[in-house]
C-alpha cells in the first residue's frame, strides 16, 4: 500500500511537467500542423508508425490481461500448472506479423527518405537560396537574384525552395517544423535541403543544434507570400532606399559608415549600391523586417525603434554571447570591444536604420 501512495504523489509532478513541456510548442513550432508537402509526408510516416505501434501495444496488452485473468491461481489449486514449451504455430505467427508490420512501415519510410533528399540545385524552376548559420543568426542569400537578407526568409508559395546549407562557424541546424524536418549546416560543406509552402503565412524556424550561449535565441521566420508579392519583394530589395531626410537620420548615416559598415551591408544612397561587410547581418530594407536580431518582434509601429534602441544599448542583454561589439560602453559586459558611442549617436543610428525601407 505504501508503495502505491508514493507513486500517487508523483502525479502532480508529471502534471506540471506536461504543462512545462507543452510550453515548447511556443510560436507554433510543431511538426503536427504541416503547411507544405514535405511536412505532410513526414507527418504521414509519423502517423503510420504510431498506428502500428498502438495496434501492437493494444493486442499485446489485451492478450496479457486475458492470460493473467484466465490462468490465475484458483482457490484450492496446488502445485505448479502444466508447463508448455515451444509451439511452432505461435512462433511463426509472432515472427511473421512483426515482420510484415515492419515492411508496412519501411515502404513509405524508404520511399520518402530518398524522395525528400532530392537535390534541386540544378532545377531551373526551384528558387535557390544559400542559408548560412552564424552564431547566433541566419543569413539568406538568393543566389540567382543576388539579394541577401537575414532572420526573415521570404519565399513564394507553391515553388520548391532549394536550400544550400552552410555554416560560418560551428554546426547549426536549419529547422522549420511546419514546413519539414531539420538539416544541419556544417562548416566547410554544403548540405542540400528542400521545402515548399502551400499557403501564405509566417512559419517559425529555429536552430536545432546546440551552438553556443544564445543557441536558444537563434530564431528566424519564414514568410511565405504569393509569387507576385515575392517578385515585388525582390525588386524592392534591389531598389535603392531613399536618402535620409531628417538631420538626425543623416547624422546616423555618417556614424553608420564610420562604425558599422565594416560588418553590415546597407544601401549607399550616393553610389546606389549595396555596400559593406558580411560579418554581421545585411541590413538592406531593415525597417521591413519582422524582428530585431530575430527575437525582438516589431509587431506595432514604434516597436522597431524601441527594439533597435534596446539592441544598440546593450546587445549582450538581448542575446548573451553574440559577436557584435557594444555600441556604447557597458560596464561589466561580457563583450569587451566597444564602439564608444553616446546616447545621442545611438538615437541617430536608430532614426537612420528605422528609415531603411522603400518610401
Interface residue list for ligand HEC (CB under 6 A): 136-137, 150-151, 256, 259-260, 262-264, 279-281, 292-293, 308, 311-312, 319, 322-325, 327, 339, 349, 353
Neighbours of 183 (CB within 10 A): 21
Q: Which of 155, 218, 260, 318 binds Cu ion (CB under 5 A)?
A: 218
Q: Measured from the CB atom, is 157 or 322 closer to ligand HEC?
A: 322
Strand 219-225 relative to strand 152-156, pairing: parallel
Q: Measured from the CB atom, is 172 or 319 closer to Cu ion?
A: 172
Length of the chain: 359
Q: Measured from the CB atom, is 44 or 337 closer to ligand HEC?
A: 337
How far apart (Å, rounded) are the C-alpha atoms in residues 277 and 20?
Answer: 42
Minimum distance between the CB of residue 210 and ligand HEC, rounded to whole angstroms?
A: 15
Q: Which of 147, 211, 312, 348 binds Cu ion (CB under 5 A)?
A: 211
- Kindly identify the residues of this chain, within the stretch 260-319, that bind Cu ion according to CB under 5 A: none
176 three-state secondary structure? strand
Q: Choose the binding region for Cu ion from 8-16, 105-113, 215-223, 347-355 (rule: CB under 5 A).
A: 215-223
The beta strands (E) that lie in 143-269 are given as: 147-150, 152-156, 161-167, 172-176, 180-185, 191-195, 201-207, 219-225, 266-268
| Rg of the chain (C-alpha set) | 28
| Contacted by 177, from Cu ion, ligand HEC, none: CB < 5 to 8 Å by type | none
Q: Measured from the CB atom, is 101 or 261 closer to ligand HEC?
A: 261
Q: Which of 35, 41, 134, 172 binds Cu ion (CB under 5 A)?
A: 172
Cell 538539416 found at: 183
Q: List the alpha helices (DSSP H) in the chain.
A: 2-9, 11-22, 37-70, 88-115, 227-238, 247-259, 303-313, 315-318, 343-354
Minimum distance between the CB of residue 171 and Cu ion, rounded to whole angstroms?
A: 8
The CA-based diameter of the chain, rounded to the nearest angstrom, is 102
Prior bond to 136 cis, omega within 30? yes
| Contacted by 195, from ligand HEC, Cu ion, none: CB < 5 to 8 Å by type | none
Q: Measured from the CB atom, is 159 or 328 closer to ligand HEC?
A: 328
Q: Measured from the CB atom, is 172 or 196 closer to Cu ion?
A: 172
With contact defined as beta carbons under 8 Å apart, do 151 and 289 qualify?
A: yes
Q: Measured from the CB atom, is 43 or 287 closer to ligand HEC?
A: 287
Q: Measured from the CB atom, is 35 or 221 closer to ligand HEC?
A: 221
How far apart (Å, rounded) are the C-alpha atoms in residues 59 and 65?
Answer: 10
| Contacted by 38, from Cu ion, ligand HEC, none: CB < 5 to 8 Å by type | none
Minimum distance between the CB of residue 146 and ligand HEC, rounded to whole angstroms?
A: 19
Q: How far apart are the first and last CA of the chain?
A: 74
Query: Would you state the cell numbers that stand for residue 215, as one nine-digit string?
Result: 543557441
Per-residue binding string, Cu ion, 179-208, x by CB under 5 A, is: ----------------------------x-
How far apart (Å, rounded) are the C-alpha atoms in residues 350 and 359?
Answer: 17
Could you tell me which of 172, 180, 163 has the C-alpha nearest to residue 29? Answer: 180
Minimum distance between the CB of residue 163 and ligand HEC, rounded to whole angstroms?
A: 19
| Contacted by 63, from ligand HEC, Cu ion, none: CB < 5 to 8 Å by type | none
| Contacted by 151, from Cu ion, ligand HEC, none: CB < 5 to 8 Å by type | ligand HEC
Q: Which residues bind Cu ion (CB under 5 A)?
A: 172, 207, 211, 218
Amino acid at each position: 500500500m505504501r508503495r502505491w501512495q508514493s507513486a500517487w504523489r508523483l502525479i502532480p509532478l508529471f502534471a506540471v511537467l506536461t504543462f512545462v513541456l507543452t510550453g515548447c510548442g511556443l510560436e507554433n513550432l510543431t511538426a503536427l500542423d504541416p503547411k507544405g508537402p514535405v511536412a505532410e509526408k513526414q507527418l504521414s510516416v509519423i502517423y503510420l508508425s504510431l498506428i502500428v505501434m498502438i495496434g501492437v501495444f493494444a493486442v499485446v496488452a489485451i492478450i496479457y490481461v486475458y492470460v493473467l485473468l484466465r490462468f490465475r491461481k484458483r482457490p484450492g489449486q496446488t502445485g505448479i500448472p502444466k508447463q508448455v514449451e515451444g509451439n511452432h504455430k505461435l512462433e511463426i505467427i509472432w515472427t511473421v506479423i512483426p515482420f510484415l508490420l515492419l515492411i508496412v512501415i519501411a515502404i513509405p519510410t524508404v520511399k520518402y527518405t530518398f524522395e525528400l533528399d532530392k537535390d534541386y540545385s540544378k532545377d531551373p524552376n526551384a528558387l535557390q537560396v544559400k542559408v548560412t548559420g552564424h552564431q547566433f543568426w541566419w543569413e539568406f542569400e538568393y543566389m540567382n537574384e543576388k539579394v541577401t537578407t537575414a532572420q526573415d526568409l521570404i519565399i513564394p508559395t507553391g515553388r520548391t525552395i532549394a536550400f544550400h546549407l552552410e555554416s560560418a562557424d560551428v554546426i547549426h541546424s536549419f529547422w522549420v517544423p511546419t514546413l519539414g524536418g531539420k538539416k544541419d549546416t556544417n562548416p566547410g560543406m554544403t548540405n542540400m535541403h528542400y521545402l515548399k509552402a502551400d499557403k501564405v503565412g509566417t512559419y517559425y524556424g529555429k536552430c536545432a543544434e546546440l551552438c553556443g550561449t544564445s543557441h536558444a535565441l537563434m530564431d528566424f521566420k519564414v514568410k511565405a507570400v504569393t509569387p507576385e508579392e515575392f517578385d515585388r519583394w525582390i525588386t524592392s530589395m534591389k531598389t535603392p532606399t531613399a536618402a535620409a531626410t531628417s538631420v538626425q537620420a543623416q547624422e546616423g548615416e555618417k556614424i553608420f559608415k564610420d562604425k558599422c559598415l565594416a560588418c553590415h551591408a546597407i544601401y549607399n544612397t550616393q553610389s546606389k549600391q549595396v555596400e559593406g561587410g558580411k560579418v554581421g547581418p545585411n541590413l538592406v530594407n531593415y525597417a521591413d523586417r519582422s524582428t530585431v536580431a530575430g527575437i525582438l518582434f516589431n509587431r506595432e509601429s514604434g516597436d522597431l525603434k524601441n527594439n533597435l534602441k534596446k539592441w544598440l544599448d546593450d546587445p549582450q542583454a538581448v542575446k548573451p554571447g553574440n559577436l557584435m561589439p557594444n555600441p556604447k560602453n557597458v560596464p561589466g559586459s561580457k563583450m569587451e570591444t566597444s564602439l564608444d558611442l553616446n546616447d545621442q549617436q545611438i538615437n541617430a543610428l536608430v532614426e537612420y536604420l528605422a528609415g531603411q525601407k522603400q518610401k
